[in-house]
Structure 1
Amino acid sequence: MPLDATLIPADRADIIAADLQGLQGAERLGAALKHPLIGKVALVSSFGADSVVLLHQLAQVAPATPVLFIDTQMLFPETLDYQRDVAEALGLTAVRVIRARAMHLAQEDPANTLHLRDTDACCDLRKTRPLERALSGFDSWVTGRKRFQGGLRTELPLVEEAGRRLKLNPIADWTSTDITDYIRSHGLPPHPLVAKGYPSIGCGPCTSPVAEGEDVRAGRWRGQEKEECGIHFVDGKAVRGPAASAA
């Protein structure tokens, strides 16, 4: 049942974050999902380079939690195969594949070339709007963003307000070494493109390999002043942590 907005404390993000302090891994995720201020929650996953970590933790504590996977219909074939294989291997029973509506694609990008003219509009069409529809009825959602990914993510909080919803970032404080160690220690399958130089994986046309020493997200929208696809924006503005907002 959705939370009653009249009973939600204004500082619920801070309350939940404080309750999660000292917890790690699947224990932190499990506590977040069961918190009384969370309400109805879904995990949003790209099934990208690091996604298997959070998906594995979810499989341990709440495998029936809805997992929203946005298929932009421009993803790498490797990502689509990986999504199916990982979901089956982990026993995730509520994966929902989200796509843009066919009529919207026909109207706004009939030749599949919008990304060549306006990447923001393409992301909005294929990711932001489909996700917003999919999140209808949810009070909160879980992301796999990390501070070490840089850019707007460097001061990412564990819990943040995102419009009328909460956004949970349970592995925000993990390092790249934490991610690698977790995948290896649990014998989890890596995304096949990671070994080919893709530490961050989005749509095929807008993702390129990253050279040694580059930022992990340098291959996303290379050559453009663009850091995020848009799903982490509210009212046209990037959702930042408290420290960033105060800067």
Structure 2
Amino acid sequence: MSILDLHRRVADLNERYGHLNGEELLRPLLTEELKGEIALVSSFGAESAVLLHQASRIDPGVPVIFINTGKLFGETLRYRDTLVSRLGLTDVREPRPDPEDEAREDPHGLLWRQNAGACCALRKVRPLAKSLEPFGAWITGRKRYQAATRTVLPVIEAADGKIKVNPLAGWGRDELTAYLDRHDLPRHPLEADGYLSIGCMPCTDRVAPGEDPRAGRWRGQEKTECGIHLPMSAVGGAQ
């Protein structure tokens, strides 16, 4: 699909479905418009259960991509297993960093300390890009309230030659909490200990009351995104 055709398709989808959110938005996309060409990308972190639950109610066989960076909390891996079993998800894919790249670029496993951007490129950005190659569209769990960089997040957008869907873009923390409670969904075990945005263990910290929910990610650095939501041109050279 050409860039022009991609933007036309995104504009058409926004015109017809851009006013919807959550499960109401996912249903026509998963069952009609983008059926067979869309995957859901999930960190299985805080609040991830909302989007995974909504998708599972429509199609438990939707491809779910979970990037195992090799630096995740054990609690995240166990939470993933709990949600997969609870929601009946049948196609969870677990890409990892390329072993040869990892041996060459991070032989001692400490790249996160020396160059966090390069570490994310190795362990998250490139594995995800490879996993998304068969798909023309993907679903994210980003919300506008999470960070200043996300305040104008669209519901459906074009990015790096693919359609990107953000069903929870307009949801706030109260709505997410209410949904989790209403459906009796399990919480990530680290939330109770003050972790409101959960990524890799070395680069995730607790968040103080009143802080930006993502303040604990790469604390003390200018870095605010791992890179999977940035243009590939901006992170592709970070090796």
If the TM-score is normalised by the length of the shorter chain, which range does it land in? over 0.9
1:8–1:85 distance in 2 versus 1, CA, 3 Å? same
Note the C-alpha offset of 1:101. 1.3
* CA spacing shift, 1:165–1:9, aligned 2, 3 Å: closer
Distance change >3 Å, CA 72–CA 7, structure 1 → 2? same
* Higher alpha-carbon deviation: 74-83 or 24-33: 24-33
Aligned-pair CA distance for 1:9: 5.4
> What does residue 147 of structure 1 align with?
144
Correspondence 1:56 to 2:56? no
CA root-mean-square deviation: 1.8
Instruction: Indicate if the aligned counterparts of 2:61 and 2:90 stay in contact, CA closer than 8 A.
Output: yes
Secondary structure (helix, strand or coil) at the match of 1:160 reads strand
| TM-score of the pair, normalised by structure 2 | 0.93
Distance 2:62 2:36 in 1: 12
> Counterparts of 1:115-130 in structure 2 under 5 Å?
115-130=112-127
SS in 2 for 1:141: strand
Per-residue deviation at 1:12?
A: 1.9
TM-superposed deviation, 1:236: 3.4
The amino acid of 1:220's aligned partner reads: R
Does the 8 Å contact 2:95/2:131 carry over to 1? Answer: yes
Aligned to 1:222: 219
Contact 1:43–1:141 (CA under 8 A) maintained in structure 2? yes
The match for 2:206 is: 209
**TM-score in terms of structure 1 length:** 0.90
1:118-158 deviations in whole A, cap 9, x for unaligned? 00000000000000110111100000000000221111000
C-alpha spacing 1:7/1:151, structure 2 compared with 1 (3 Å): closer
The C-alpha deviation readout for 1:180-220, integer Å capped at 9, x for no partner, is: 00000000000000110011000000000000010000000
Is contact 1:16-1:35 (8 Å) kept?
no
Question: Paired residue for 1:173?
Answer: 170
Give the whole-Å Cα distance in 2 for the aligned partners of 1:129 and 1:223. Answer: 25
The separation in 1 between residues aligned to 2:234 and 2:59, in whole angstroms, is 32
Amino acid at match of 2:100: M
- Aligned equivalent of 1:163: 160
Q: CA deviation at 1:228?
A: 0.5
Give runs of aligned pairs for residues 14-163 of structure 1, distance below 5 A.
14-36=11-33, 40-163=37-160
Q: Go from structure 1 to structure 2 and tell me whether the alpha carbon gap of 1:86 and 1:39 turns closer, same or farther (over 3 Å shift).
A: closer
Matches of 2:203 and 2:4, distance apart in 1: 43
Q: Distance in 1 between matches of 2:77 and 2:138?
A: 22
User: Number of matched residues?
Assistant: 235
1:198–1:79 distance in 2 versus 1, CA, 3 Å: same
Contact 1:8 1:37 in 2 (8 A): no
CA contact (8 A) 2:95 2:127 kept: yes
SS in structure 2 of the partner of residue 11 of structure 1: helix
Runs of 4 or more off by more than 4 Å in structure 1?
Answer: 4-7
Contact 1:207 1:221 in 2 (8 A): yes
Relative distance call for 1:127 and 1:9 in structure 2 (3 A) is closer
Distance 1:94 1:9 in 2: 27
C-alpha distance in 2 between matches for 1:201 and 1:55: 16
**Matched-pair contact (CA < 8 Å) for 1:151–1:227:** no
Q: Is the 8 A contact 1:38 1:166 kept in 2?
A: no
Q: 1:195 to 1:35 in 2, by over 3 A?
A: same
* Partner SS state of residue 33, structure 2: coil
- In structure 2, stretches of 5+ residues that fail to align are none
Verify the 8 A CA contact 1:16 1:37 in the aligned structure 2. no
Judging changes above 3 Å, is the alpha-carbon distance between structure 1 residues 102 and 235 closer, same or farther for their aligned structure 2 residues?
A: closer
